[in-house]
Amino acid sequence: MICSRKIRLTISLLALLCIFVLPAFAGEIIEDFDSGDLSPALWEVRAVGGASFEIKDSQLIMQSPETADGILLAYVPDIGGEDITFEFQFDISQGGDVSAQAWFAEVPVTPDVNTEVNSHWQLVQTIMSATTYAKISDGTKVIPDTPIDAGSNIYVFELVGDKVTFSINGTAVATIDKPENLNYFHIGPDMYTSHYGGRLGVLEYVKVSGPSVVPVASAVRSEGKLATTWAGLKS
């Protein structure tokens, strides 16, 4: 009888552990481009015109040679209203027109013509050769021009409750009220087919974490010049 009670107690404790503890450790996925596969449930590279991409030396390399070209990496799931963190390492030290964007949009975005301020995005961080800044959809700068190291840097968007915190290389640089409709995350060197040319973006890794983030089994997706995978964070 005592043994039976101990077994039932152990099972109950394990159930509580699964409900309350495991989700805190399960909500993280990391793409470091160490392999040639990417889960189609999580990532999609969208290229327009003559833009191209490849995975080489554990990097996702996106190229937009002409003004009419455009390219971005999209996180496929709808994240609207969730607490979630995006961390990525981006190198813009190569290429001609040195600049890139990481942004949240109300709807999934493919590179297109920008006739005004892009009507899709709600929050965008622009990364240039020596500085970075962020704007919301009405054009207000929520991060002023901030110096960054030449080459490769680590950027973080942390969406928690009604706030967004921006960090660069482990240092928080700003916290703002979270704009509405931050539903889809994108990153790339050229989000427009009406601006910019000669752009090249090198993405080292992307990490996504949060209570609702669920890792998925590795699956192959081949689109154009990309076949993308899941692995561990670059050291």
DSSP letter, residue 25: H
User: pLDDT (tens digit, 9 = 90+) per residue, 26-78?
Assistant: 499 999 998 777 788 899 999 989 889 998 889 999 888 888 888 999 999 99
Selected from 2.60.120.560, 3.40.1190.10, 3.90.79.10, 3.40.50.2300, the CATH number assigned to the domain covering 27-227 reads: 2.60.120.560
Of residues 168 and 121, more confidence is placed in 168
pTM of the model: 0.79
For the chain, domain boundaries: 27-227
**What is residue 128's predicted lDDT score, i.e. its pLDDT?**
86
Cβ 176 vs Cβ 36: under 8 Å: no
Distances (CA, A) of 22 to 81, 205, 211, 213: 22, 25, 10, 12
**What is residue 88's predicted lDDT score, i.e. its pLDDT?**
96
Of residues 193 and 85, more confidence is placed in 85
Q: How far apart are CA 194 and CA 202, in angstroms?
A: 22
Q: Is residue 235 pLDDT above 60, yes or no? A: no
